[in-house]
Structure 1
Amino acid sequence: MNKIEQVTEWIRGSERVVFFGGAGTSTESGIPDFRSAAGLYRSAQGSGAPPEVMLSHTYFMEHPESFFEFYKKHMIYRDARPNAAHEALAALERAGKLAAVVTQNIDGLHQAAGSRVVYELHGSVHRNRCMACGAAYTLDEMLALPGVAPRCRACGGVVKPDVVLYEEPLDQDVWAGAVEAIRAADVLLVGGTSLTVYPAAGLVGELRGGKLVLMNREETSFDRRADAVVRGSVGEALRRVAEAIVADF
């Protein structure tokens, strides 16, 4: 029995599967990750300050125009579509196998594929809110607002994306939901994340007795703790699992 077959059997016999994913889940949709050779941190060099600085709360508050120039160019991918990983997870949820998705991504592709229970640890580009009056804007509405740093049509205040910037805390309700889901999981699938960014990476430690499966192209520091490690494409691995479990996938 190969590793995919073993993971499939664990999921087939499970009641609460949870998926925890990072940037590598969306690279097959054309969205770059952060730290690889083709990732954001390298491709955005020369944009001004380092990306970690430009995506900080301090930089946003002090240089909103420069922040949005960078944000609109490097963080928004309006043409991106769900890939095999997103579609497989949505199918597993419809089949009653997947209890929740916990994601570090801000692209909304899990919901676009049909997943309903999604904990977005770092927020979403699809939600935006005026910092002055609280008016809400979709992504398209925000991009249509006047100014490089978008200004609210109601009051003129700066509209901030609902994404967690460096220096900002995670949403505690989202965090609590993710912790609860992982603690109750009998299988935790982890895919497309280096597991180096905290506090998110610490979520793996919340698993209470369930099987830990890592699906990654690269090695992580958690590999030795995993019950199974699947090397290669996250989308391909999840597609094969979903095809074996979901009759109409």
Structure 2
Amino acid sequence: MNEQIDQLAAFLDRHRNVLVLTGAGLSTASGIPGYRDEEGVRHGKAPVQGPEFRSNDALRRRYWARSMVGWPTLARAEPNAGHGALARLELAGRVGAVITQNVDGLHQRAGSARLIELHGNIHTVRCLACQRRQPRAALQQRLLRDNPALGEVLAQPLPDGDAQLEPESLEHFVVPACEACGGVLQPDVVFFGDNIPPERTRQALAWMDEADALLVVGSSLMVFSGYRFCKLAAATGKPIAAVNAGKTRADELISLKLALPAQEVLPAVAALLTVA
């Protein structure tokens, strides 16, 4: 383990503008379940599709009921040592920026400044009609008020504030609407089947163009929005390192891989690079 940590520290020392791409594996140590196993296979049912969420009342009912039960897991989550180490490495000029596929907001809370949340932030909810935004925590209070029977339900937490909730629990569930205009509410995230906002994509690609190396942390890269950065790095001859417990879609492109916990590796690397 020590030799691999030395190698990663040397990688960051050689490349002065490293772009970091993070995924769900970084946040599992904060108590947020991951999406995939070590082979990159997704757990459980297929994810919510954006077009279906917007057109299907029953799916929205299921989504918000499961979200109401699963939300406390996300609300309690704190940045772990891996998030903190990346923020310190950025402050010290050892990494140039962070692009995260996560929607949990933990990089912001840890202090990362040059940050793009590629898929949005689940701590904000927006109205699809009037675009009014509100904190997800405030919406939770409405959900609890309007659906008291679910307030004490225990269910297995799933990624991104979801929960394993049986269909019979949803018959009388009250779906929240926008208090300003009555419109449909959606978490301010990019669902599967939706596109990342163009300005966000442009900035992320600009950072990839400026970088001289890429470090992947806690991502299987099975989703193309993350994998594309490895493809771009490889196409332009930029080296790629990864800290990920299991298989990734880009294993053949990665020159240095540490199959170790990010919350242990990153603080050790930061310490080697004399980051306080």
With normalisation by structure 2, the TM-score equals 0.79
Aligned with residue 61 of structure 2, among 39, 62, 65: 65
Q: 1:51 deviation in Å? A: 3.8
Name the residue aligned to 1:20: 21
CA–CA separation in structure 1 for the residues paired with 2:96 and 2:52:
36
> CA-to-partner distance for each residue in 1:91-135, whole Å, 9 max, x for gaps?
011112221111111100000100011111111112211122221
Aligned Cα RMSD in Å? Answer: 2.3
**Aligned match of 1:128 in 111, 117, 125?**
125
Structure 2: runs of 5+ lacking an equivalent: 147-173
Deviation at 1:230, TM superposition (A): 0.8
Which structure features the higher share of helix residues?
2
Partner of 2:251: 223
Structure 1 residue matching 2:221: 3-state secondary structure: coil
**Alignment match, 1:172:** 198
Asked whether the 8 Å contact 1:95–1:246 carries over to 2, the reply is no
C-alpha contact (below 8 Å) 1:107/1:124 kept by paired residues: yes
Equivalent residue of 1:34, what SS? coil
Tell whether 2:263 aligns with 1:235: yes
- Shift of residue 86, structure 1, vs aligned partner: 0.4
| Runs of 4+ off more than 6 Å | none
Instruction: Out of 149-158 and 193-202, give the one that drifted further.
Output: 149-158
Match for residue 272 of structure 2?
Answer: 244
Once residues 247 and 169 of structure 1 are traced to their aligned partners in structure 2, the CA distance between those partners, rounded to angstroms, is: 37
Number of positions where the alignment pairs a residue of Structure 1 with one of Structure 2: 240
- How far is 1:72 from its partner? 3.4
> Hey, what does 2:219 align to over in structure 1?
193
**Structural mapping, 1:1-249, within 5 Å:** 2-36=3-37, 42=43, 50-52=45-47, 54-62=48-56, 63=58, 64-74=60-70, 77-145=74-142, 147=146, 148-207=174-233, 208-248=236-276
Q: Return the offset for 1:19.
A: 0.8
SS at match of 2:113: coil
Tell me how far 1:145 sits from its aligned partner.
Answer: 3.3
> What are the ranges of 5 or more consecutive residues in structure 1 without an aligned counterpart?
none
1:15 CA displacement:
2.1
- Find the aligned partners of 1:230 and 1:180 in 2 and give their Cα distance: 27
Partners of 1:145 and 1:74 lie apart in 2 by: 15
2: CA distance, partners of 1:23 / 1:227: 22
Offset, 1:74: 4.2
Aligned-partner SS, 2:268: helix
CA–CA distance in structure 2, aligned partners of residues 40 and 59 of structure 1: 24
